[in-house]
């Protein structure tokens, strides 16, 4: 019994160290988009962490822009449809039955307010942009900052 208590105490100590380090995006389907397409041709992927994002007050910024890749676009939409569950749809634009713009406010995870922004443009070419933002401020503030800095 005593050893079980000690074991549990140890697990607690380890948990306190490790769990906060698991990234907040790890539970999201869109992570697969970054992992699968991030390093491919015709793709621009950006990751910026807090020290470079002082102007925006973001703690993490990840974006991926994929050009002329319809399967990738479908894959993003598929991932988003899963991440939509439990998230607040801030914006959802459907064109010809296909979602072209999606803004999602995800449930807060730890200290992080999380946003997913997706847009598809067809002209002059097919371009899919997916952005994932983590912020210590409210998602509303995060969006306001994006507008201000634009």
Partner 1 sequence: MRLKFRYKLTYEQADKLIEKYYEGCTTVEEEKRLHGFLSQVNLPAKYKSEQTIFGYFNERKNIKSFQIPGYLRWTAVIAILFIGAFSFQVFTSNNKQNYAYINGEKISDIKVIKTHALASLSDLTNSKNEMEESIKNLNNNNIIEQQLEVFSEIK
Give contact residues for partner 1 (rule: CB under 8 A). 6, 10, 13-14, 17-18, 21, 23, 38-52, 60-61, 63-65, 88, 90-91, 101, 103, 105, 117, 119, 121, 127, 129, 131, 139-140, 143-144, 146-147, 149-150
Angular region, 11: left φ>0, alpha ψ -120 to 50, beta rest = alpha
CB of 29 to partner 1, least distance (A): 19
**CB neighbour class for 107 (10 Å; exposed up to 12, middle 13-18, buried from 19):** exposed
User: What residues contact 117, with CB distance under 8 A and at least 6 apart?
Assistant: 102, 103, 104, 129, 130, 131, 132, 133
Q: Which is nearer to partner 1, 96 or 150 (CB)?
A: 150
CB of 82 to partner 1, least distance (A): 21
Distance of CA 130 to the CA centre of its chain: 8
Q: Which is nearer to partner 1, 41 or 85 (CB)?
A: 41
CA distance 114 to 104: 8
The answer to whether 88 touches 101, Cβ cutoff 8 Å, is no
CB of 85 to partner 1, least distance (A): 18
Q: Which is nearer to partner 1, 27 or 140 (CB)?
A: 140
Q: Which is nearer to partner 1, 81 or 121 (CB)?
A: 121
CB of 94 to partner 1, least distance (A): 15
- What is the maximal distance between C-alpha atoms in the chain? 69
CB of 45 to partner 1, least distance (A): 4
């Amino acid at each position: 019994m005593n050893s079980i208590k000690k074991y549990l105490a140890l697990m607690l100590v380890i948990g306190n160290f490790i769990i906060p380090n698991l990234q907040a995006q790890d539970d999201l389907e869109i992570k697969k988009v970054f992992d699968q397409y991030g390093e491919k041709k015709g793709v621009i992927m950006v990751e910026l962490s807090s020290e470079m994002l002082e102007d925006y007050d973001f703690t993490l910024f990840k974006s991926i822009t994929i050009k002329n890749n319809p399967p990738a676009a479908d894959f993003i939409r598929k991932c988003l449809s899963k991440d939509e569950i439990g998230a607040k749809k801030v914006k959802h634009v459907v064109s010809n039955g296909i979602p072209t713009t999606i803004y999602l406010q995800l449930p807060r995870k730890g200290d992080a307010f999380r946003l997913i922004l997706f847009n598809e443009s067809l002209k002059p070419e097919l371009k899919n942009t997916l952005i994932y933002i983590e912020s210590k401020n409210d998602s509303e503030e995060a969006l306001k900052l994006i507008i201000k800095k634009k």
